[in-house]
């Protein structure tokens, strides 16, 4: 389902990413069973072009939206696997993942359903919501200037989605370095891969909800001057201006190039300008700081490692065959 147009834009980038997948992550970059890059070749050959068309539309409207689609993949795959469960609505008897505390301000759900409607019109009952998330995240990252990576497809959509699963699996933005490493280790990701995937914060924006613990009452002193000591003081003042105490809903760009996938994120973190506690935490540990520093270099392997980590993430908890379903709309089970 990989778009030919996207692939042709940068052969050198594609080649380097694929080579990296085959060397650095040989043990983990193999696709989950039953997935393949040409899964929809006969049943919906236009699927890639349809997804790409809508990703272009969304990014034209908001260049920082690439971050929302990347976050959507992470928040889906980290909770029970890449099964589209993050898209499901709550019901009278169940509070779904989207209503978990950790998913506050999650964007992209309606946009994925818009893509799904177009695919249902072209190829009814063929392309899963879970696969749409994976392809949209890759396409958006690439179009924002980031790496391209191959995507294997054939996932089915899951039927289980609860807020407790979301809050029990996803890392909250207040975790320290040790707790971040532990969280990623539970999914068989290394500390280095955790730092790599944190680089997704190089695109997009965020609500103040996840920033407030960084700025107020950091140690429990319960006063407005109790900020994270890892924060640059000037940057802390900037954040406070945009995120007044108690304001959870204001939005702010994650860094100075919110619509461009680059290594500015790591430069910002190293300068004490991490937007979340989890960002600042990366340089509180000697290993984390060493990795962050390496990714600030022009010749770093950040792009290649990010691509490999996204492929690996896409293998988590995959449902195939009769294990799931192909939803008609992404926000409701059939």
The answer to whether 97 is annotated as binding is: yes
The answer to whether 34 is annotated as binding is: no
Residue 106's Cβ-count burial label (10 Å; 0-12, 13-18, 19+) is buried
The answer to whether 202 is annotated as binding is: yes
Region for residue 288 given its phi and psi (left: phi exceeds 0; alpha: psi -120 to 50; beta: otherwise): alpha
Nearest to 267 by CA among 292, 284, 238: 292
Among candidate residues 75, 101, 207, 214, the one labeled active-site is 75
The answer to whether 100 is annotated as binding is: no
* Residue 206, strand partner residues: 252
Which string of DSSP letters, residue by residue, matches 202-216?
A: GS-EEEGGGTHHHHS
The answer to whether 49 is annotated as binding is: no
The answer to whether 171 is annotated as binding is: yes
The answer to whether 257 is annotated as binding is: yes
The answer to whether 262 is annotated as binding is: yes
C-alpha gyration radius of the chain: 19
The answer to whether 85 is annotated as binding is: yes
Contact predicate 231/183, CB 8 Å = no
The answer to whether 201 is annotated as binding is: yes
Torsional sign, CA 112, 117, 118, 123 = positive
The answer to whether 43 is annotated as binding is: no
Query: What is d(CA 58, CA 35) in angstroms, rounded to the nearest whole number?
Result: 27
| Count of residues making up the chain | 334
Clarify whether 75 is annotated catalytic.
Answer: yes
Residue stretches of the annotated binding site: 76, 79, 81, 83, 85, 97, 171, 201-202, 257, 262
Residue stretches of the annotated binding site for heme b: 201
Residue stretches of the annotated binding site for Ca(2+): 76, 79, 81, 83, 85, 97, 202, 257, 262
Active site residues: 75
Residue stretches of the annotated binding site for substrate: 171
């Amino acid at each position: 389902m990989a778009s030919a147009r996207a692939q042709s834009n940068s052969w050198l980038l594609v080649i380097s990413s694929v080579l990296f997948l085959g060397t650095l992550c040989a043990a983990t970059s193999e696709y989950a069973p039953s997935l393949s890059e040409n899964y929809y070749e006969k049943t919906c050959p236009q699927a890639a072009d349809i997804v790409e068309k809508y990703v272009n539309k969304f990014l034209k409207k908001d260049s920082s939206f690439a971050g929302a689609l990347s976050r959507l993949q992470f928040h889906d795959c980290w909770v029970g696997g890449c099964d589209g469960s993050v898209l499901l609505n709550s019901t009278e008897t169940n509070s779904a993942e989207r209503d978990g505390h950790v998913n506050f301000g999650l964007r992209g759900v309606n946009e994925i359903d818009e893509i799904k409607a177009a695919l249902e019109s072209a190829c009814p009952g063929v392309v899963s919501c879970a696969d749409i998330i994976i392809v949209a995240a890759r396409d958006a990252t690439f179009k924002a200037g980031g790496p391209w990576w191959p995507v294997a497809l054939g996932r089915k959509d899951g039927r289980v989605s609860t807020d407790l699963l979301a809050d029990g699996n996803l890392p909250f933005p207040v975790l320290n370095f040790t707790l971040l490493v532990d969280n990623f280790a539970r999914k068989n990701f290394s500390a280095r891969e955790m730092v790599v995937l944190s680089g997704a914060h190089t695109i997009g924006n965020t609500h103040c909800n996840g920033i407030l613990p960084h700025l107020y009452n950091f140690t429990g002193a319960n006063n407005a001057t109790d900020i994270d000591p890892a924060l640059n003081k000037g940057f802390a003042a900037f954040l406070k201006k945009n995120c007044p105490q108690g304001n959870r809903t204001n939005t702010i760009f994650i860094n100075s190039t919110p619509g461009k996938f680059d290594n500015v994120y790591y430069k910002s973190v190293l300068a004490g300008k991490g937007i979340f506690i989890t960002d600042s935490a990366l340089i509180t540990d000697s290993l984390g700081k060493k990795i962050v520093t390496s990714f600030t270099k022009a010749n770093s392997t950040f792009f290649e490692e990010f691509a490999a980590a996204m492929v690996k993430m896409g293998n988590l908890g995959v449902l195939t065959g009769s294990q799931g379903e192909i939803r008609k709309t992404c926000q409701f089970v059939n």
